């Protein structure tokens, strides 16, 4: 069984317990559920951002522990301070060491868009994301049908949130719909977790021009940002490159400074 299938099987089991422990009626009473959403779309349209969606990530199935000592509030505060367009927080516990508490903690210190990075397969998780304080959610085409993407996207937009739809190859382009404003191209194959940095470049011209393009995974050099920008990318989701360092916030600051030189 490939890694993605293992994750989705575990997620289905996890959801059965969550729905009993914390029903939708309880989620809808949480303070953040009524809070206004901060729009990444508006942030991109205004310009002036370096486009980086900086990620807080404790570990991964392919790399194991990346950073299990960093404080989520300290790291994401630094991301915000040094110019991130948005912040992404992993909430999957079994495979990535994340938690809902990480996202809630991040929300408490952020005034920029917050992405819930999760393997979302059920409307319950969309409602849960809003209750945690997320501004946008990730939907992964590789583990959803076209109809599921459309349904989950409609739910998210109905709650005021935005959607980042992650694709990996051409056959997933049909998952794009009106409500998927942001389209991410993952350089990492979620079945094998191997990385091919050329993936985003090959897919760039296939994404509808009205969508915001976001390159994901395997980005480690400022020069890569310059190449992606020339191919029409608006955003760049980067996590491991910062989180592997002893001080992720300082690593982000240095990287952001180098990007300014590249994009001049």
pLDDT of residue 63: 86
Condensed to tens digits (0 to 9), the pLDDT of residues 3-57 reads: 889 999 999 999 999 999 999 999 999 999 999 999 999 999 998 788 999 999 9
Residues with Cβ within 8 Å of 257's Cβ and at least 6 positions away in sequence, in order, are: none
Reference 160, options 140, 139, 131; nearest CA is 131
Residue with tokens 């989701």: 237
Q: What three-state secondary structure class fits 208?
A: coil
Tokens of 150: 């459309």
pLDDT of residue 49: 80
Condensed to tens digits (0 to 9), the pLDDT of residues 183-192 reads: 999 887 666 6
Condensed to tens digits (0 to 9), the pLDDT of residues 62-85 reads: 889 999 999 999 999 999 999 999
Exactly one of 88, 100, 189, 217 is catalytic; name it.
217
Is 195's pLDDT higher than 80? Answer: no
- pLDDT band at residue 218 under the 50/70/90 scheme: confident
Is 55 one of the annotated active-site residues of the chain?
yes
Is 217 one of the annotated active-site residues of the chain?
yes
Q: What percentage of the chain has pLDDT greater than the value 70?
A: 97
CA dist 132 and 130 (Å) reads: 5
Mean pLDDT in the chain?
93
Exactly one of 186, 187, 189, 200 is catalytic; name it.
186
Residues 162/41, Cβ–Cβ less than 8 Å: yes
Condensed to tens digits (0 to 9), the pLDDT of residues 229-243 reads: 998 999 999 989 999
Exactly one of 162, 172, 216, 240 is catalytic; name it.
216
pLDDT of residue 261: 77
Condensed to tens digits (0 to 9), the pLDDT of residues 117-173 reads: 999 999 999 999 999 999 999 999 999 999 999 999 999 999 999 999 999 889 999
Q: What percentage of the chain has pLDDT greater than the value 90?
A: 80
CA dist 24 and 243 (Å) reads: 33
Mean pLDDT over 199-209 rounds to 87
Phi, psi of 174 (to 5 degrees): -70, -10
pLDDT of residue 196: 75
At the topology level, CATH places domain 3-263 in: TIM Barrel (3.20.20)
Is 166 one of the annotated active-site residues of the chain?
yes
pLDDT of residue 2: 84
Exactly one of 50, 117, 118, 200 is catalytic; name it.
117
Mean pLDDT over 173-179 rounds to 97
Q: Where are the domains of the chain?
A: 3-263
Residues with Cβ within 8 Å of 29's Cβ and at least 6 positions away in sequence, in order, are: none
Exactly one of 128, 166, 172, 240 is catalytic; name it.
166
């Amino acid at each position: 069984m490939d890694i993605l299938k293992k994750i989705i099987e575990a997620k289905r089991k996890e959801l059965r317990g969550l729905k009993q422990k914390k029903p939708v009626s309880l989620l809808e009473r949480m303070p953040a559920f009524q809070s206004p959403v901060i729009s990444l779309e508006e942030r991109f349209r205004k310009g002036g951002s370096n486009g980086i969606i900086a990620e807080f990530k404790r570990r991964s199935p392919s790399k194991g522990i990346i950073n299990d000592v960093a404080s989520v509030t300290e790291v994401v505060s630094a991301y915000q301070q040094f110019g991130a367009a948005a912040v992404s927080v992993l909430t999957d516990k079994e495979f990535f060491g994340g938690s809902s508490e990480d996202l809630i903690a991040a929300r408490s210190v952020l005034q920029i868009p917050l992405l819930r990075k999760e393997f979302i397969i059920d409307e319950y998780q969309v409602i849960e994301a809003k209750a945690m304080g997320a501004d946008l959610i990730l939907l992964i085409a590789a583990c959803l049908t076209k109809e599921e993407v459309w349904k989950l996207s409609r739910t998210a937009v109905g709650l005021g949130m935005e959607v980042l739809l992650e694709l990996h190859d051409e056959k997933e382009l049909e998952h794009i719909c009106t409500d998927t404003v942001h389209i991410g191209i993952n350089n990492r194959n979620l079945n094998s977790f191997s990385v091919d940095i050329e993936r985003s470049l090959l897919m760039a011209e296939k994404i509808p021009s009205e969508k915001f393009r976001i390159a994901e995974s395997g980005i480690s050099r400022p020069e890569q940002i310059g190449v992606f920008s020339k191919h029409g990318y608006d955003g760049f989701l980067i996590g491991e490159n910062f989180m592997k360092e002893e001080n992720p916030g300082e690593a982000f600051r240095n990287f952001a400074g180098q990007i300014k030189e590249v994009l001049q």
